[in-house]
C-alpha cells in the first residue's frame, strides 16, 4: 500500500518549528558541554561510533513522520519539575567537573524537551529514537577496571587449562615464553560499547516484542565480553607459539578488531532467524488522524512551553557565571612542618622513588617520615581552582598507569580506620617495582590513600564529587587534596604496622596542615 504524506499546514509546521528552535537553543546554551562530547568522539576510538547516533536518531524519527502527523501536539506541563531537576544536575556536574553528569543531563534535557513541548503521546511514538540519543554520551569507561580484571582472570584460567604454567599478580602474568599484562586496550570496553549501540538498534529494527528486544540487547552485552576473553587468550597463545613474533604491537589490535567483527556478524546472522515481519501500515487511517490533529493544534501553548524550557535551561548558566568568580586564586603551598612535630622525623629522601599519577595538582608535598626503624612516605596532591584540566577526582588519576615502566599495581582493596579521632574508610593498594636491583626481588609498596574535601575524609569518588559540588555551591571554594601514605613491605614489623603507627601519630597534624593551606591567601 502506498503511503500518502499529509499535506503540510501552518499548525503542523509550527510544532516542528517550535521543537527545532528549542533543541537548537538548548545546544547553544550548553555549547561547551556539546563541544566536549564531540571532542571525546573525535579523540577516543572507544566513542567514534557516537558520530552516527544523532543522524540515526533523526532518521528513525523521520520514519515515524506519518504517525506523528496524526497526533495533536499538547505540552506536558507536569514534566517541568523534572526539567528543573536536570538543570540542577547539570549545574552540580559542572561545579564538580564531572563530564558524565553534565553530558547526561544535557542529553536528557534535549530528550525531555520533546514530550514537554509536544506532549507525551507524541513522544511515546518516538521513544526509541529519543532514547537512542543517550548512546551519544561518551560514558562507560568506568567499567574498564572490572573488565580488565575479568579478562586477566579468564586468560590465566584458559592458559592453565591449556597446560601452560602461569604466575599471576593482578593484571600481570608470566608464562615460560614471556611476560604479559592486561592494559586498557585489552579491557574490551570499546567492543562492548560499540556492540551495545549496534545491537540495541538491530533489536529495535528487527523485533517488535519487548521480550525479544531485551534478549538481543542482553546478548549484545554478553557476546563482546566473552569474545574479548577469547581474543585475549588467542593473542597470548599466538605470541607463545610463535616465539612472540605474532600478536604483538599493531597485530595485537588488528587481530582484536577482525575477531570482534566476525563474532558480531555471526551474532547478527543468528538474530535474523527470529526476525519478526514488518507491521502493516494503514495510510488512510493515519491520514484521517492527521486531518484531526491539524484542526486541533494550538500554537500558543507550544510557544509557552518552549519559552519555559529555555528559561529553566538559562538559569544554571547564570548561576554558574556567578559561582565561577574565584574566591582564592593564590598558588597554594603545602608546608609539612606540622607533620614532623609529631615524633616522626623527616628523612633525607622518601622511602621509595614513587609518586601517584595524579595530573596537574596545584601543589604537592612529598616527604619521608621515620620513627625508630619505621620508614613511611607521605605524598599530598593539593588542588585549587579545579576544572576539566585540573581536578582531584578523575578516572585518569591512579596509583600507577598500566604502561608505567617502574611500578605496577597488583592489588586494590579498602579498609576502615580512625583518622584524627574520626572513623573513616580509605583505599589500599599494593605496588610492585617492575625490576629489582642487581637481580634482587622487586620492591613492593603498601599504599593507603584517601581524599580531604571540605574538611571531610572521603574515599568514594562519587561522594567526593558530591562534596566538591556542594562546597562550591555554598561558596566555600573547591580546595581539596589526595593523601597517600606508603611503606615498603620489607620494613620491620611490616608495612601495615608502619602505616598504622604513622597515620595514628600524624592524623591531627595532617588536618591542621590542610586547613592551614586552605586558609593561606
For residue 309, is it within any domain?
yes
Residue 404 confidence (pLDDT) = 78
Per-residue pLDDT tens over the stretch 214-241: 988 998 888 888 888 888 888 888 878 7
Q: What is the mean pLDDT of residues 301-320?
A: 89
Distance of CA 461 to CAs 271, 468, 511, Å? 39, 10, 20
For residue 395, is it within any domain?
yes
Which pLDDT band, with edges at 50, 70 and 90, does 102 fall under?
Answer: very high
Same domain, 361 and 509: yes
At which of 259, 274, 289 does a domain end? 274
For residue 332, is it within any domain?
no
Q: What is the mean pLDDT of residues 102-106?
A: 95
For residue 311, is it within any domain?
yes
Whether the predicted pLDDT of 341 surpasses 60: yes
For residue 488, is it within any domain?
yes
Same domain, 116 and 169: no
Per-residue pLDDT tens over the stretch 120-173: 988 999 999 999 999 999 988 778 888 888 888 899 899 998 888 888 877 888
Same domain, 444 and 504: yes
Residue 292 confidence (pLDDT) = 45
Residue 325 confidence (pLDDT) = 65
Decide: 26 and 110 in contact? Cβ < 8 Å: yes
Same domain, 111 and 231: no
Nearest by Cα to 497 from 362, 376, 325 = 376
Same domain, 234 and 185: yes
Return the ∠ at Cα 480 (arms to 325 and 415), rounded to 5°: 150
For residue 118, is it within any domain?
yes
Strongest mean pLDDT among 54-63, 401-410, 438-447:
54-63
106/110 Cα distance (integer angstroms): 6
Decide: 494 and 501 in contact? Cβ < 8 Å: no
For residue 266, is it within any domain?
yes
Same domain, 203 and 97: no
Same domain, 308 and 345: no
Cell of 275: 526476525
Whether the predicted pLDDT of 7 surpasses 70: no
Q: What is the mean pLDDT of residues 29-48?
A: 90
Q: What is the mean pLDDT of residues 12-19?
A: 78
Same domain, 130 and 263: no
Same domain, 57 and 98: yes
Distance of CA 126 to CAs 24, 83, 111, 180, Å? 19, 19, 10, 48
Same domain, 253 and 371: no
Decide: 128 and 206 in contact? Cβ < 8 Å: no
Total domains, the chain:
3
Structural domain containing residue 494: 337-519
Which pLDDT band, with edges at 50, 70 and 90, does 23 fall under?
Answer: very high
Q: What is the mean pLDDT of residues 448-469?
A: 90
Q: What is the mean pLDDT of the chain?
A: 83
The pairs formed by 28-37 with CB atoms below 8 angstroms and a separation of 24 or more are 29/310, 29/313, 29/314, 29/317, 30/90, 30/106, 30/109, 30/313, 30/317, 33/90, 33/94, 33/102, 33/103, 33/106, 34/106, 36/99, 36/102, 36/103, 36/388, 37/103, 37/106, 37/136, 37/137, 37/138
The gap between the terminal CA atoms of the chain, to the nearest Å, is 76
For residue 328, is it within any domain?
no
Residue 298 confidence (pLDDT) = 61
38/51 Cα distance (integer angstroms): 8
110/108 Cα distance (integer angstroms): 5
Same domain, 371 and 267: no
Same domain, 86 and 171: no
Neighbours of 507 (CB within 10 A): 19
Decide: 305 and 75 in contact? Cβ < 8 Å: yes
Amino acid at each position: 500500500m502506498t503511503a500518502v504524506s499529509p499535506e503540510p499546514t501552518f499548525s503542523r509546521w509550527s510544532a516542528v518549528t517550535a521543537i527545532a528552535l528549542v533543541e537548537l537553543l538548548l545546544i547553544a546554551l550548553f555549547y561547551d558541554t556539546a563541544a566536549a562530547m564531540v571532542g571525546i568522539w573525535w579523540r577516543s576510538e572507544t566513542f567514534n561510533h557516537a558520530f552516527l547516533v544523532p543522524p540515526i536518531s533523526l532518521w528513525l524519527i523521520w520514519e515515524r513522520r506519518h504517525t506523528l502527523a496524526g497526533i495533536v501536539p499538547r505540552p506536558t506541563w507536569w514534566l517541568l519539575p523534572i526539567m528543573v531537576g536536570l538543570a540542577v544536575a547539570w549545574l552540580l556536574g559542572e561545579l564538580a567537573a564531572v563530564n558524565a553528569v553534565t553530558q547526561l543531563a544535557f542529553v536528557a534535557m534535549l530528550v525531555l524537551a520533546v514530550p514537554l513541548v509536544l506532549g507525551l503521546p507524541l513522544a511515546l511514538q518516538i521513544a526509541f529514537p529519543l532514547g537512542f540519543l543517550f548512546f551519544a554520551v561518551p560514558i562507560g569507561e568506568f567499567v574498564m577496571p572490572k573488565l580488565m580484571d575479568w579478562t586477566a582472570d579468564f586468560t590465566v584460567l584458559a592458559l592453565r587449562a591449556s597446560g601452560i604454567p602461569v604466575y599471576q599478580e593482578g593484571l600481570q602474568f608470566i608464562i615460560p615464553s614471556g611476560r604479559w599484562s592486561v592494559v586498557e586496550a585489552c579491557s574490551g570496553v570499546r567492543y562492548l560499547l560499540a556492540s551495545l549501540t549496534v545491537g540495541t538498534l538491530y533489536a529495535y529494527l528487527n523485533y517488535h516484542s519487548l521480550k525479544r528486544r531485551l534478549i538481543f540487547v542482553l546478548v549484545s552485552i554478553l557476546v563482546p565480553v566473552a569474545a574479548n576473553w577469547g581474543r585475549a587468550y588467542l593473542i597470548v597463545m599466538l605470541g607463545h607459539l610463535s616465539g612472540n613474533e605474532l600478536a604483538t604491537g599493531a597485530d595485537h589490535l588488528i587481530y582484536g578488531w577482525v575477531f570482534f567483527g566476525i563474532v558480531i556478524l555471526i551474532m547478527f546472522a543468528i538474530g535474523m532467524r527470529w526476525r519478526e515481519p514488518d507491521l502493516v501500515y494503514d495510510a488512510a487511517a493515519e491520514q484521517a488522524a492527521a486531518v484531526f490533529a491539524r484542526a486541533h493544534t494550538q500554537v500558543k501553548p507550544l510557544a509557552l512551553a518552549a519559552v519555559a524550557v529555555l528559561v529553566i535551561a538559562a538559569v544554571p548558566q547564570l548561576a554558574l557565571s556567578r559561582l565561577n568568580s574565584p574566591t582564592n586564586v593564590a598558588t597554594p603551598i603545602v608546608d609539612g612542618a606540622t607533620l614532623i612535630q609529631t615524633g616522626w622525623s623527616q628523612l633525607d629522601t622518601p622511602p621509595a622513588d614513587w609518586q601517584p599519577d595524579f595530573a596537574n595538582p596545584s601543589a604537592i608535598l612529598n616527604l619521608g617520615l621515620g620513627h625508630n626503624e619505621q620508614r613511611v612516605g607521605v605524598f599530598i596532591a593539593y588542588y585549587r581552582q579545579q576544572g576539566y584540566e585540573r581536578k582531584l577526582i578523575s578516572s585518569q588519576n591512579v596509583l600507577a598507569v598500566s604502561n608505567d615502566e617502574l611500578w605496577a599495581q597488583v592489588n586494590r582493596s579498602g579498609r576502615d580506620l580512625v583518622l584524627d579521632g574520626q572513623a573513616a574508610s580509605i583505599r589500599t593498594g599494593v605496588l610492585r617495582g617492575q625490576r629489582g636491583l642487581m637481580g634482587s626481588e622487586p620492591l613492593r609498596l603498601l599504599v593507603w590513600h584517601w581524599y580531604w574535601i571540605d574538611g571531610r575524609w572521603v574515599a568514594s569518588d562519587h561522594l567526593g564529587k558530591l562534596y566538591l559540588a556542594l562546597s562550591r555551591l555554598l561558596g566555600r571554594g573547591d580546595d581539596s587534596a589526595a593523601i597517600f601514605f606508603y611503606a615498603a613491605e620489607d620494613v620491620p614489623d611490616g608495612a601495615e604496622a608502619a602505616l598504622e603507627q604513622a597515620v595514628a601519630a600524624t592524623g591531627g597534624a595532617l588536618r591542621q596542615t590542610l586547613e592551614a593551606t586552605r586558609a593561606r591567601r
